[in-house]
Structure 1
Amino acid sequence: MTDTAYPLYRTLPGPIHALVLAGTFPLFLGALLSDLAYYNTYLIQWSNFASWLIAGGMLLCGLALLFALVNLLRARPRSGRPLVYFLLLLITWGLGWINAFQHAKDAWAVMPLGLALSAIIMVLSAAAAWTGLTLPRSGGVQ
């Protein structure tokens, strides 16, 4: 009789984790596009759209951060891959928080820092989604 070792948990993100993680990128991308539209047209409604998109992106990023924390706590001690994923999400969420405060200002005071923050956050959310959806979870086959 053979003895087979099974991982303690999934090696791929679950469906809710993947949905939440993949949802952060389009929301932060929409915020960047709204900021670009506001920068070019100075119609205040674009700034309002960006504020709501940032709030939605932060909500989903916070949920993905909780999943990443659980994954980090269940990871092997020497496995640095879940730590990179967790730190990317944490930095994305932290900068999103700063960007939300920036967008809470008067519409004319949002630029140019709001646009720069939105661009950085969009790149970070893309990197976090790529890392989270492609790296195997610890406990899987090496």
Structure 2
Amino acid sequence: MTTTTHPDYRCRPGPLHSILLGGSVPLFLGALLSDIAYSNSFQIQWANFAAWLIAGGLLFAGLALLFALANLIRAEHKGGRPLVYFALLLITWVIGLVNAFEHAKDAYAVMPAGLWLSVLVSVLIVITAWLGLSNLRNGGVR
């Protein structure tokens, strides 16, 4: 009787990659909360806070995107969850960049598009971080 084992190749993010990915979540969520506060109070400083938080989130997510690309390049099997993770992070970053451009507008011109983009980016970054910090596999049976 022969036993065949299927190797389980894992492609987990390293510590710096995890810090950058995990750090982008509160930045984008903070931008969402700032947008909600701005839509309720009309205090322009909330829009400024949101713009700065989005810039920080883009920086962290952009660096995490570079790590995700490196992990995807060195992965033995290029499909599956590592590819989905990279694609989601790229989509999140691009929509976040559009959100940053939206927040560059003056005063209340940011609303309501900035708020909806912040909601979308926040949902996407939470899903992406969940996928990225969970068990990424690029091969194997499971």
Q: TM-score range by the shorter chain?
A: 0.7 to 0.9
Q: Deviations over 1:79-128 (max 9, x none)?
A: 31111000110000000110000000002100000000000000000011
Structure 1 counterpart of 2:102: 102
Mapped to 2, the partners of 1:77 and 1:97 lie a distance apart of: 30
3-state SS of the aligned residue for 1:138? coil
3-state SS of the aligned residue for 1:50? helix
Structure 2 counterpart of 1:121: 121
Mapped to 1, the partners of 2:87 and 2:11 lie a distance apart of: 20
Contact 2:39 2:111 in 1 (8 A): yes
Q: Unmatched 5+ residue regions in structure 2? A: 1-6
Amino acid aligned to 1:60: F
Query: Structure 1 residues 107 and 140, CA, compared in 2 at 3 Å: closer, same or farther?
Result: farther
Amino acid aligned to 2:16: I
Identity %: 62
Amino acid aligned to 1:44: I
How far off is 1:138 after superposition?
3.3
Q: Unmatched 5+ residue regions in structure 1? A: 1-5
Structure 1 counterpart of 2:84: 84
Query: What is the RMSD computed on CA atoms of the aligned residues?
Result: 2.1
TM-score for the superposition, normalised by structure 2: 0.88
For these two proteins, the number of residue pairs brought into alignment is 136
Where has structure 1 moved over 2 Å in runs of 4 or more?
Answer: 76-79, 135-142
Mapped to 2, the partners of 1:78 and 1:35 lie a distance apart of: 38
Amino acid aligned to 1:87: A
Contact 1:7 1:140 in 2 (8 A): yes
Amino acid aligned to 1:107: A
**1:1-142 aligned within 5 A:** 11-77=11-77, 79-138=79-138
Amino acid aligned to 2:23: G
